[in-house]
Amino acid sequence: MTNRYLHQLSQCKRLRDMEIKTSERMFRRQLQPNKAHKFIYCGIEKAGSTFWRRLLQHVQLGTVQTPYRIRPELVNSYYVDLSKSTLLEVLGLLKSFTKFIFVRNPYTRLLSGFIDKLYSPNPYYWNKIGIPATRLARETTHTCGHGVSFKEFVEYIIHSNNNPQSKRDVHFIPAHQLCLPCYIQYDFIGKIESFEKDAWFILGKLNLTQYIPVLQNFKNQAVFDALYDVSHTFIEFRKEASKCLSFEESLKRTWRKLQFRGIIADEINLPFSYKEAENITEEKLLSTFIKANKQSQKFDLRSQKQKHLMHAYSTISLQTLEKLVEVFMIDFKIFDYNIYPAFIFQNTNISIKTLLV
């Protein structure tokens, strides 16, 4: 992890003349302090933030329990940020407290956000991002926002990053704009790709090793938590989403979401009819998801997830990919992610201009 810290410093020196598009207000809202243990966590959505915000609730309350005891919908119940602190107070805490963040490959983070917030039934994000993205791509005002494709979504992310008046959301904003790593020297930089190892290491550095035993079954807890969250969200949004999608189509998307995430195998089909989709209970849906996940263990779920990632990006033109790289260029460089991974660019001819960036 020391190497990541040094890499961040060296890259930030090289990038010191690049403009950072951010706002002080947004930055303060990402900062979650714990004054008793003297640390600050800067949360980056779709990079483990729900896990950390729940765990830090337990730390704040002094309860040694798994973060998964707190349901996803209650993640912000005790959330305390620095949005109401003065700039002088914020700078003081940043100077004296231990600081850490968790980051994620921009390509996987962006697709994860799309699947979670726009592909699966979510009227809030259909309205906030789906409608403006669809209008930008199709020049139409007659839309629910539910039909936005990944290609149209990516084009909107590029557009909104370059147009301050466009609607943006923290789930899709580059990590360097949220947590300002070229201005704030974070002591520890964890990565989703090595989450368990990095989380244990950081908990040790924060003198919070008492939480490690309750996380020993971390992976299974995380899968169950995801299944609960997806089933709960489907029921919560089912009625409102029906204004745009049939109950059956909403459930199909929910099932496919779990397949895209590598939790349910592609070979296992949705076992419900249209009528069942309209009246199914949350308990029945959750038990069905759990059963399907158990049946999926004989399949290569990691390769399946990678296949869906590659397919999603295969719909994006090389020209658009080059523009997307520009949006997340600072993230790629300071967090040491491959800008041109073969699994995305294998079917494209990267221009000489792009290679020389």
Q: How far is CA 310 from CA 17, 111, 151, 325, 343, in A?
A: 34, 10, 13, 16, 6
Q: What is the pLDDT of residue 351?
A: 45
Residue in the block written with tokens 């992890």: 1
| CA distance linking residue 238 with residue 232, whole number of Å | 10
Q: What is the pLDDT of residue 356?
A: 39
Strand order, beta sheet including 31-34: 31-34, 39-42, 98-103, 188-191
For residue 41, the cross-strand partners are: 32, 100
User: At 214, phi and psi to the nearest 5?
Assistant: -75, -5
Q: What is the pLDDT of residue 347?
A: 59
Task: For the chain of 357 residues, list the mean pLDDT of each consecutive stretch of 10.
Answer: 89 80 87 96 97 95 94 86 91 96 98 98 96 90 88 97 88 96 94 96 97 92 97 95 93 97 97 84 96 98 97 96 96 97 74 41
Q: What is the CA radius of gyration of the chain?
A: 21
Identify the CA nearest to 254 among candidates 122, 153, 151, 130.
122
Q: What is the pLDDT of residue 25?
A: 87
Q: What is the pLDDT of residue 353?
A: 41
Strands 188-191 and 98-103: parallel
How many angstroms separate the most distant Cα atoms in the chain?
60
Contact 336, 4 (CB under 8 A): yes
| CA distance linking residue 249 with residue 120, whole number of Å | 10
| CA distance linking residue 315 with residue 310, whole number of Å | 9
Contact 45, 171 (CB under 8 A): yes
| CA distance linking residue 118 with residue 157, whole number of Å | 13
